[in-house]
């Protein structure tokens, strides 16, 4: 799933809601995240002059990893960077990259990276996924 595309996002909500009850927690979490994104200040207001932002996100486990790229739409993006844990069985797994990303953007850094360990749980054990991101940003001069 590519969260940056609104059309796909809408489709995702519908398909989750139409699924059985076991997905209702995920749907709720998704709706909650949407609400927080809607409530957050706009990225454009927080970082005037930001022209583009791209995040290469890698979700790693001991056996491998997934990567995806998130192109942030500066015009309407919230100043909030939340990435769900890549493991759908993970409970409460969420990476909040907001403070790391915002600090770098406010300092007008053009490339920066960070890492966040998942604090969620998989049944009785902790989720061991680590999320790593590389960001590239452009600013108006």
120 phi-psi bin (left φ>0, alpha ψ -120 to 50, beta other): beta
Q: Could you say which residues in the range 68-97 bind Zn ion, by CB under 5 A?
A: 85, 87, 90, 93
- For the CA atoms of 39, 45, 50, 55, what is the dihedral angle to 10 degrees? -10
Q: Which is nearer to Zn ion, 1 or 17 (CB)?
A: 1
131 binds Zn ion (CB under 5 A): no
CB of 101 to Zn ion, least distance (A): 19
Task: State the Cα angle at 51 between 114 and 110, rounded to 5°.
Answer: 35
CB of 81 closer than 8 Å to CB of 52? no
Q: Single out the segment in contact with Zn ion by CB under 5 A; choices: 13-21, 29-37, 54-62, 121-129.
A: 121-129
CB of 60 to Zn ion, least distance (A): 11
Bridge partners of 105, per DSSP, are: none
And the tokens for 66? Answer: 């997934």
Q: Single out the segment in contact with Zn ion by CB under 5 A; choices: 21-29, 56-64, 101-109, 110-118.
A: 110-118
**Which residues bind to Zn ion, rule: CB under 5 A?**
85, 87, 90, 93, 118, 120, 127, 129
């Amino acid at each position: 799933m590519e969260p940056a595309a609104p059309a796909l996002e809408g489709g995702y909500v519908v398909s989750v809601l139409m699924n059985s009850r076991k997905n209702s927690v995920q749907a709720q979490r998704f709706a909650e995240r949407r609400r927080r994104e809607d409530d957050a200040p706009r990225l454009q207001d927080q970082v005037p002059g930001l022209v583009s932002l791209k995040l290469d996100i890698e979700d790693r486990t001991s056996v491998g990893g997934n990567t995806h790229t998130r192109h942030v739409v500066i015009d309407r993006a919230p100043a909030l960077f939340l990435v769900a844990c890549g493991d759908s069985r993970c409970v409460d797994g969420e990476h909040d990259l907001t403070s790391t990303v915002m600090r770098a953007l406010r300092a007008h850094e053009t490339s920066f990276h960070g890492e966040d360990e998942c604090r969620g749980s998989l049944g009785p054990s902790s989720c061991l996924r680590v999320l790593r991101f590389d960001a590239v940003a452009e600013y108006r001069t």
